[in-house]
Structure 1
Amino acid sequence: MKSVLITGANRSIGLEVAKQLSEKGLFVYLGSRNLEKGEAIVADLLKQGFKNIKAIAIDVTQPESISAAKDSIEKEQGKLDILINNAGILGNSPQMAVDTPVNHIQEVFDTNFFGVISVTQAFLDLLKKSESPRISNITSGLGSLTLHSDPSWKYYQVKTAAYGTSKAALNAYTIVLAYELKDLPFKVNVIDPGYTATDFNHHSGPGTVESAASFIIKHTLTDDGALSGQFYSNDIEDETGISPW
C-alpha cells in the first residue's frame, strides 16, 4: 500500500485530497498543525467509512515538528511514496509592493516557500526508498510571471506582494528540485488547483474542492512515463493543463 503525506490537510482542498486518495486505497497521513483537530477530523472520516487515514502533527514552519513527523512515518512505514506540500497561507490584505511590511511578507514565505523546502528536504530520504516517489507542490496561477505580465489575463489585476511572489519562488525551487532528481524515478511538479471556493478566499472562487482535488491527484498519481518539472493548472483550458511559468 502506497503512503502519502499531505501537509495542511485538515480542511478545504487538502482534506478533499486526503478523502479521494483514501478511496483510491492509499495510506494517508493527514497533516495538521494541531493534532487534536486533525484527530477529530480523522475520527469523523472513519465514521463516514474512509479507511487508512491517520492524523499527524506537522507545522511546516517548525523544524522540530517536521522531524517528529518524519520519524513517526519512518517508524510506521519505512518509506514515503508521495509528498503533497499543500500547506499555505494567504497573508494580510492588501499586499502592496510599495508598503507591505517586510515581516508580513516573510511570514508568508516561511510557510509557502521555506516550509516546503524544509519538509521536502526532511522527507527526501524516505521518498528515495519508494519505487515511484512523487512530490507535488501546490501552487497558484498567481505565481506565474508570464500570466502576470499579460494584461489580457483574467486575473491580471490581482497582484499580491507576499502570496503571489511566494508561489513564484516555489515554482522556481520546484524546477531546480526536479532537475536535481531527474536521474531518479521521481516526478516533481507544481500543481495549481485553480481558483477554488474555499475558506482561503472566503469562498469566492468558481471551482469546487472536488475538482481541485481530482486535478491534484491526476498529476500526482502518474506513471513512469509522465513529465517532471512541470507547472499544471486547473485554470488552463488546454488538454495538457500545462501553465506558462
Structure 2
Amino acid sequence: MTSSGMTALVTGANKGIGHEVAAGLAARGMSVLLGSRDRARGERAAARLRAEGGDVRAVVLDVTDPDSVGAVAASLDRLDVLVNDAGVSGPLGEPPSATPAATLREVFETNVVGVLMVTNAVLPLLRRSPAPRVVNVSSGVGSLAHQTDPGHYMSGLPASATYPVSKTALNQLTVQYARELRKDGILVNAAAPGACATDFTKDLPFPITRTAAQGAAVVIRLATLPGDGPTGGFFDDDGPVPW
C-alpha cells in the first residue's frame, strides 16, 4: 500500500508501542496524529518524531471521554489509518475472586469501550478513504487457545479478570467490525505485539528484552496492508494467532 499522502491516528502514542507505531507510519510517509491524554507529553513525543523528519502532530485524546473523542474527530478532514493502541493493564496479580466490579469496568472503559467510541467517531472519514485500515492493539493473553493450552506458557500465568478478559473482548469486537465494514473496503485486524520492555510491563516479575519497536512491527504491517489483505484476523510476528 502506498502510504505517502495518507493520514493516520494512533491513540496512546506518547510512549511505548504506540509511539513506535507513530514513528514507523511517519517514516513511511504518512501524516500522523499522535494521540495522548496529556498535552505536554504528547507535544514532546511529537516533537521528537518531527526532529527525525516525520510529519507528526500531537492531539489531546482521552479515549474514555466522549467530548475529547468528538473534538478530535471533528478536527479531521481526512483519515486513512486508525490504530487503537491506548490501553490500561489493571492490577497485576489480582485474581478474579478479589477483583471489584469497578476495576473491571475501568479497564473495559479504555480497552474496549474506548476503542468502539474512537472507531465510531472517525468511521465517516475512514469510509471516504481509498485504503482504510483499522488496527486494534490486542495481546496474546487475549487468546483463549493460549490460555487453555497446558503446553503454552500463558496457561501458567496468574488468573486475572481484567487485562486478558478485556483483550479477548477486543478481539471479538475486531471481528464484528470486520464483518460490518468488509463491504466498505475497510480492513480491520487485531495485533499481538508481544511483551515489550515498556512502562506497561515494568512491574512484571520477569525480565522483558523485546523492544517496543519490535512489538510495533506487526501493527505497522497491518496498518499498511494491501487492498487484498486479510480482515477480521488476529496476528503476531509469525502470522495468525489462534483465538
Query: What TM-score comes out, normalization by structure 2 length?
Result: 0.93
Q: Does 1:140 align with 2:143?
A: no
Cα distance in 1 for residues equivalent to 2:134 and 2:94: 29
Q: Does 1:164 align with 2:164?
A: yes
Secondary structure of 1:156's match?
A: helix
Q: Tell me the residue number matched to 2:241.
A: 243
Cα distance in 2 for residues equivalent to 1:175 and 1:206: 31
Cα distance in 1 for residues equivalent to 2:58 and 2:137: 20
Q: Tell me the residue number matched to 2:88.
A: 89
Shift of 1:180: 0.7
Cα distance in 2 for residues equivalent to 1:215 and 1:91: 24
Structure 1 unaligned runs (5+)? none
- How much identity, in percent, do the aligned residues show? 38
Cα distance in 2 for residues equivalent to 1:91 and 1:6: 21
Q: Tell me the residue number matched to 1:198.
A: 198
Q: Tell me the residue number matched to 1:60.
A: 63
Secondary structure of 1:55's match?
A: strand
Which is further off, 16-25 or 35-44? 35-44
Cα distance in 1 for residues equivalent to 2:94 and 2:136: 23
Q: Tell me the residue number matched to 1:23.
A: 27
| Amino acid aligned to 1:119 | V
Q: Deviation digits for residues 80-117 of structure 1, max 9, x if unmatched?
A: 10000000000112231111111011110000010000
Secondary structure of 2:97's match?
A: coil
Secondary structure of 2:102's match?
A: helix
Q: Tell me how large the CA RMSD over aligned residues is.
A: 1.2
> Contact 1:19–1:50 (CA<8 Å) still a contact in 2?
no
Shift of 1:6: 0.2
Cα distance in 2 for residues equivalent to 1:206 and 1:38: 25
Which is further off, 57-66 or 152-161? 152-161
Which of 226, 230, 236 in structure 1 is aligned with 2:229? Answer: 226
Q: Does 1:12 align with 2:16?
A: yes
Aligned residues: 235
Cα distance in 1 for residues equivalent to 2:173 and 2:75: 27
Q: Deviation digits for residues 106-150 of structure 1, max 9, x if unmatched?
A: 110000010000001111111101011100000000101111111
> Contact 1:133–1:185 (CA<8 Å) still a contact in 2?
yes
| Amino acid aligned to 2:24 | Q
Cα distance in 2 for residues equivalent to 1:195 and 1:44: 24
Secondary structure of 1:183's match?
A: helix
> Contact 1:61–1:110 (CA<8 Å) still a contact in 2?
yes
Cα distance in 2 for residues equivalent to 1:175 and 1:201: 27
Cα distance in 2 for residues equivalent to 1:139 and 1:206: 19
Secondary structure of 1:29's match?
A: strand
| TM alignment of 1:32-43, pairs within 5 A | 32-43=36-47
Structure 2 unaligned runs (5+)? none
Cα distance in 1 for residues equivalent to 2:136 and 2:97: 28
Cα distance in 1 for residues equivalent to 2:44 and 2:213: 21
Q: Does 1:122 align with 2:126?
A: no
Looking at secondary structure, tell me which structure has more helix per residue: 2
| Amino acid aligned to 1:124 | L
Q: Tell me the residue number matched to 1:106.
A: 105
Secondary structure of 2:106's match?
A: helix
Shift of 1:71: 1.0
Structure 1 segments (4+ residues) deviating >4 Å: none
